[in-house]
Chain A
Amino acid sequence: MKDYMKKEFRIISNLIEKNSRILDVGCGDGELMSFILNNISQDIRGIEISKTNVQKCISKGLTVIEGDAESDLFQFPDSSFDFVILSQTLQAFLNPEKVLDELLRVGKKAIVTIPNFGHWKVRIDLLLKGTMPVTKSLPHEWYNTPNLHMCTIKDFFNFCDSKKIKFIKSLALNQEKVLDISKSNLGTRNFFSDLGIFLIEN
């Protein structure tokens, strides 16, 4: 596991209550799920679009269904999970708003993490180099990026605010530091942070 990922997973895990019921949306090869399963709660499910990844999850003993978060979340009843996790995937959906609504319908709470397009390195790439930004949390080139709707920490914060979504916890990951995000420090956090981690509810 990459250190950077590990850090994110530890923060997410700290936001989850012991033995709660969890859904990991876009669970990849099940790294975060395994971590939670072994440390926080056995009651965890995943949904993942890639067949190869689903098969990897099964080999780790995880309960995962192959499916598309954009069209397959409907099958879960309202509030059927205590926590729904969406790690660094929101920007890859055709309709992130719809997905966010679904996350908050299915989960009593949602944890959404956002690779920050407002980070200063990203801004410099575009400002000085004049090329689309490529960083460690945004490693793709413009022509092969799965990210259709890139946003900044500030964008996501304002978006949730406008939708009257409540922030229970807003955290910014800056190198090794984990800092709180609030309206007053939003500009700074947005400039220096790689990742935003939000625990939200309707």
Chain B
Amino acid sequence: MNMFSLTLEHMYIVFIAVAIAVVLGVFLGVIAYWIRYLDSIILWITEIIQTIPSLALLALLMIVFGLGNTTIIVGLVLYALMPIARNTYIGLQDVEPHLKDAARGMGMTKLQRLVKVELPLSFPLIFSGIKIATVNSLSVAVMGVLIGAGGLGFPVYRGIQTNSLTLILSGAIPVVLMALIFDYIMSRIERRLTLRASDGRK
């Protein structure tokens, strides 16, 4: 078993999933913000998805997407939607009303206000949603082995099955390290973004 290539594959699965989840999640967050009567439905659905046990969700997705990395990626995307969509929605709502008014006063259209004012100002919060989704996905991706995907799930599950601490750790340590590294880097970026955003608001 080559831990290095398993780690790379693990990271690849998570990266693709989070990238798709960012696009979908931000889109859903914006829709919830724009169309007020949809907000509770959208956020409710993303929260309901979170409560489905991972193996049950993956087994159901497997029927549609087959065995392999695609299924785990779809599963991770579904789980990652909640933190990203919710933070986008809250971030957009929390933009200071006078800034929104100013943008409106300058004659900006709805889309211009979103892209030029509201999204940039709520970006720190969106980013922290992405961070949560990334770290979560790293650990959920371990389940992928159960539907035939690659990554670090195989050593972890074999370790549990054969009661081998060495095997469990050989799979779990890279996951934890990746989570810590991503969390550290993204937290630093997040802090910088928050500082800049609060400067902008003063």
Are A and B a genuine interacting pair, yes or no?
Answer: no
Instruction: List the interface of chain A (C-beta within 8 A of B).
Output: none
